Structure 1
């Protein structure tokens, strides 16, 4: 497996709507992966998923998916139940499309003690992965590293859940880590330390199927505010790419910049020029 770089969502320059057309446009541009951004809900059936799978195979484009934002695995019982149904739908359709990985935001601490919130998420993840296994669906379930300290999804939490629940792996958003820490994690050495922490807890093989998010980002006292174009942010994406190269990372790098394919192609060019 190699490191594939692509967009979150279909390229803006796609002449026709629809993920299958976006896949073809991404390949025309020279991109290597595409994340199906279902953040506002999933509006497709099996027939559309089959078209997407066919387009991805024909164009050798790797797929991942992002589940809807409306997820909270440590909320009230009915909230957790609806969240799990959304995640199950995401996993089923993403796998049918040919995706190997899907990510999501696990939830908010709210009034819960952090340890209790983490336990609730872990319990929900066990149920989710068991349901997917029972249905014969093979896809990585990936809680995402989130951009605000009020959200569940620190690197340590992701590693704990991944170590404890079979089928769970982290989605590592390095830009979110930068925002979550008030800009402190932003050097080559910091990125290498994160990668070493992942390998140390989950084994070196975890770096060969890494699901990564990258974007320019603005942050404030409460963490992430908004995504920015890469070159309008102080996030040191070049140093991140060098760390990924030096650690021999394989997997998917999904560019979540508002500039979409322009910034994804910029990342690809920078990565290829590394020596």
Structure 2
């Protein structure tokens, strides 16, 4: 049995992995796939990949592309979610901020530098026509840290996946001022260069299993109720999320990778644009 470590966020996007593990689909291929949830998100996952504390990750596109351009020895194995991520823009429910315009020159809570919550503030600022040189940040580590940060006024707003954060809105802790979808597919399956070099057949088996599960995922009977119960979401919210989410079974297109790099470069978040062969497995 081949032991393989994989990490990802504890969110509904990753249920296909958990179902495949629970049903023994990887074990049938001789693979013991050990999943670890990383609630801190992409910035933390980049660190764990770089220090070889994991072999694989399901990770945000913009975060891992930035990390690879900075020398992280990782390659993109394939696109995992082909649709954009719907980033909710949240303030404390008692905040005086009433519109996105009010957030100009305020402080954003972010899980880590290099995380999606950090990088997407630049994308959002660009969309709003703001200069990014005035962006300010307060590190909060995870979602619970963001709650504390916004409640105490240490930060003014927080960007996180819309549906994961929705219960905090429903419970009167956050208020949603709007959404900022990523301009590209949101999640990728990536692997360390070391793992890819030594385990080509293993990665092929893992892809075959997960791609079978994601291809059929939406057709699973009552999958909306399963997701709502497992991730403590309202059924209507999960049904909306399912309608806008598309899983992928292919490699990330080079044209998309170029778009991501060009956007990050224009925002001065990466120093140079690398050839696709430096990023794709």
- Which of structures 1 and 2 has the larger relative contact order (alpha carbons within 8 angstroms, sep 6+)? 2
Structure holding more strand per residue: 2
TM-score greater than 0.5 by the shorter chain: no
**Higher gyration radius (CA):** 2
